[in-house]
Amino acid sequence: MKGETKKALKAVAVVTVIAAGGYGLYRAITAAAPPGIELSNLAISPEEVNPGDTVTISCLAVNKSDTEQSRTVIIGGDVMGQKTVILAPGESAVVSFEATPTEVGVYQVSVDGLTGTFTVTEAPVARIVLSNLIIQPGEVNIGELVTISVTATNEGNAAGSKVVTCTIT
């Protein structure tokens, strides 16, 4: 892998807006990057894939201003792409890019000073996918027991594990 050259990958961008009304796709326009939207929490998943597998690169965009703002989020490094988000005051959005590398190597990713890598290898890799989130019961009183479960399926071609984090707000 060391010393190998890779082509820059074009990424497909997906923006998911987190708002009081739930999740949904949000419209995009091209605009200058105002200081009101901050980017954080760069995530690359999975971090190891085989050629032809899809990698999702995402970050959190938060409008810290008291007015509606738009910002073009640009992904750089070995994966290239951009997506513009428009956020109301206090609103946040997960901005996701998808890339499908075909060449073996270590790929560098950067978004607004946030950096990370993913590896493309010929060796078998685990690809654990989570589905079927179940929360029972749907409503409880303080102190009552809630059961949260999810199905984990390995769609890869090697054994592996995945850390699952449950956040309750």
pLDDT values of the chain reduced to their tens digit, one per residue, 169 residues: 444 444 455 554 444 433 333 333 333 333 344 468 999 999 998 898 999 889 999 999 999 999 999 999 988 888 888 899 999 999 999 999 999 998 999 999 999 889 999 999 988 778 888 889 998 998 889 888 988 889 888 888 888 888 888 877 7
The residues, ordered by sequence, that sit 6+ positions from 55 with a Cβ below 8 Å of its Cβ are 44, 45, 46, 49, 79, 98, 99, 100, 101, 107, 118
DSSP state of 66: S
Q: Is residue 3 part of a domain?
A: no
| 94 contact partners, CB below 8 Å, separation of at least 6 | 15, 16, 18, 58, 59, 60, 61
User: 99 - beta bridge partners?
Assistant: 55
In a domain, 1, yes or no: no
Enter the pTM of the model.
0.63
Same-domain check for residues 25 and 63: yes
Residue 42 covered by a domain: yes
Range of the domain at 14: 9-120
Given a contact cutoff of 8 angstroms between Cβ atoms, the answer to whether 73 and 83 are in contact is: yes
Cα gap 91→84, rounded to integer Å:
14
- Within a 13 Å sphere around the CA of 119, how many CA atoms are in the beta-carbon half? 9
Both 48 and 116 in one domain: the answer is: yes
Does one domain contain both 112 and 158? no
Residue 28 and residue 43 in one domain:
yes
130 located within any domain: yes
- pLDDT attached to residue 105: 92
Q: Does 93 share its domain with 39?
A: yes
